[in-house]
Structure 1
């Protein structure tokens, strides 16, 4: 018997599942990533259950029992998902057409080809069913394919293997690496939603940069994100340590460090983290902010890391040279946002995710630009958050990672500290004075039309925005001052 770690709320759910299947004389087994992670002592968000019988009918009945939402992932195979009401837990059901041992042998990787009776999992001690040697690989930290045929059976499986290795910090067994490389191009045949889910689960990991480099080594990165290939070998001005492609990977790795929830090991990365979070020690909700989901199952940190990978994707098509030989990338931020929007549409990201990424890429240079003459003014900070919306905080962290990706391993600590000081200043204004971000209304459009004889139109909107900017800057604070400002602006416009 092996002990497994199951959180109390998951154990309660396992008890309910055991009662549900037991009441229907059904055999049910804990399998897949849930059992693997429980054996490793890791928290498992989702449950994987193999069932004897009609998984579609059982899934619908279970969804009704738990008050969850039923989703047929693959009706022809009987793969279903129940999403529980709070959206935080999903239960995946798969059918067992023969014996559980035969079912497990058809799985893709040995460490996921493990099973245990659901009732034992609920009790916290399991007799593991292990027909492929997965326990030995789990103990050795190896990802090993059960067979190449298993990888061919589902085009997503090569990507999944790399994601598991990156997520767990495991090595991929040598022959399995070769199998994955041979099957890599077929990943593009998988449903876009499934590709996206694997990519974002990898980016949510603590060492996402290591994972993406692994994808590249195995030929998987080009299969999932072919748009990024144009950045390979694109040289940059001498202040850049890397070409565009490797700069993007370095920015992603910097985000792994900056968004870590504790100081990473190693003197260099540990100091980077302490410089940043020491300056932000007053921000109690900082780490929680990056943990929060943007959509179900995707924490904000994963989306920020995606931007680390994509923020300069517009550089290759905007690269020009001046007569002096100076290299320029005019408009690369806007162009990059368009390219990123296209690939995110292809992978079926939500509208909210696409908007956040577009705003981040468009504005990733602004934190540096608004600090060129010293600490950013309140007016500049207002404009920054007006442009970035809910992506503002994310953009500040992307800017730090962009800086680190530019200088490479030779960090100028004074320069980094100055950049951190800008981030601290902007965040302090963001949280200390709500008027800088969302000034209370002093005058309305109706007020301006009545007092200044205006009609609805662009000018009216411009005057209202001028008032809001002046409020954020601390230049007006009463309705009378706001009206006086509007009159001056109207006179300056010759009206």
Structure 2
């Protein structure tokens, strides 16, 4: 059966975990003997079966696939050591799903891409490959034939999770949170969730991640994406700016002042914009 359809090797690990039964020794031996067949299977089907494994509420299926040597084939060239570290982070995430902050964020993980895969699967995949070298992760993700949006999501989660800033944040204020999410978007929330579960992270890093998640969950309109006080068109019309980089930079500064509570009305925003334009013009002279 495995010769005819090597993807059944991964499926066997998933079904065994889902049904909570142990593999018969003869079946286990057969899986071990024929696991290399998985390298010849359709990459799209391997990807889909792997992502189904990641849907499980526990990491038992992934652990079994690792024990059988299937993950190293499905996610080559990631090493067994790299995958073991990723499984540990994934397990920590799954263990924390009932904690209030992670649970609230996980409600967003059912969001689906046009492929039918979910944001939650991309978070789990990011955790699974998180301990790999940059090159190993790049090659492994490319081999899975993810969509551009899915691959970008995984990379954003990994980038935000791996930021050295978590160990440096003494205090996360609205401006810090705004800049973080402007850089990483919702992938930054998922990356913060991986930090917040505490696997290999200091207590201060966990606290910083939890506060960052609090901004994402509770302050979208005030901090993450506030309603602009002025539009680019208004800047062009009222201040005579030419469309381009200066308009974008002015809008960015206005938003940052708004997030900090330094301006709160279109009039205040326009006055600040005039001053910024005047300062820019003076520097150009």
Structure-2 residue corresponding to 1:266: none
Q: Cα deviation per residue 1:290-332 (whole Å; 9 max; x = unaligned)?
A: 3454556544333211111122323xxxxxxxxxxxxxxxxxx
Structure 1 spans left out of the alignment, 5+ residues? 1-149, 233-243, 262-275, 315-335, 408-414
Matched, 1:388 2:174: no
TM-score using structure 1 length: 0.51
1:446–1:291 Cα change, 3 Å: closer
- 8 Å contact kept, 1:341–1:358: no
Computed over aligned residues only, the root mean square deviation of the Cα atoms, in angstroms, reads 2.8
Aligned to 2:126: 307
Instruction: Find the aligned partners of 2:276 and 2:131 in 1 and give their Cα distance.
Output: 38
Bigger helix fraction: 2
Question: SS at 2:2's partner residue?
Answer: helix
Provide the rounded CA distance (Å) in 2 between the counterparts of 1:445 and 1:376. 29
Spell out, residue by residue over 1:379-424, the C-alpha distance to the aligned partner (whole angstroms, 9 max, x if none). 11111222222323211112224x41x26xxxxxxx54x5554344
Kept after mapping to 2: 8 A contact 1:160/1:198: yes
- Name the SS for the 2:132 alignment partner: coil
Mapping of residues 13-52 of structure 1, within 5 Å: none
Deviations along 1:174-229, whole A, 9 cap, x unmatched? 11111111111111211112101110111111222x33332222221121001312
Structure 2 partner of 1:255: 93
How many residues were matched structurally? 281
Q: CA deviation at 1:455?
A: 1.6
Match runs of 1:190-201 below 5 Å: 190-201=41-52
Whether 2:155 is the aligned partner of 1:155: answer no
Is 1:379 paired with 2:168? no
Aligned position for 2:213: 427
TM-score (norm 2): 0.85
Rate the CA distance shift 1:339–1:219 in 2: closer, same or farther, 3 A: closer
8 Å CA contact retained: 2:47, 2:145: yes
Quick one: structure 1 residues 340 and 173, their matched pair in 2 at CA, closer, same or farther if it must change by over 3 Å?
same
**Alpha-carbon shift at residue 284 of structure 1 (Å):** 7.8
Q: In structure 2, do the counterparts of structure 1 residues 369 and 456 end up closer, same or farther at CA, with 3 Å as the change threshold?
A: same
Runs of 4+ in 1 over 6 A off after TM superposition: none
Structure of larger gyration radius: 1
Equivalent position of 1:468 in the other structure: 255
Please, which of 337, 357, 360 is the counterpart of residue 157 of structure 2?
360
Normalized per residue, the structure richer in strand is 1
3-state DSSP of counterpart to 1:171: coil
| Residue ranges of structure 2 left out of the alignment (5+ in a row) | none
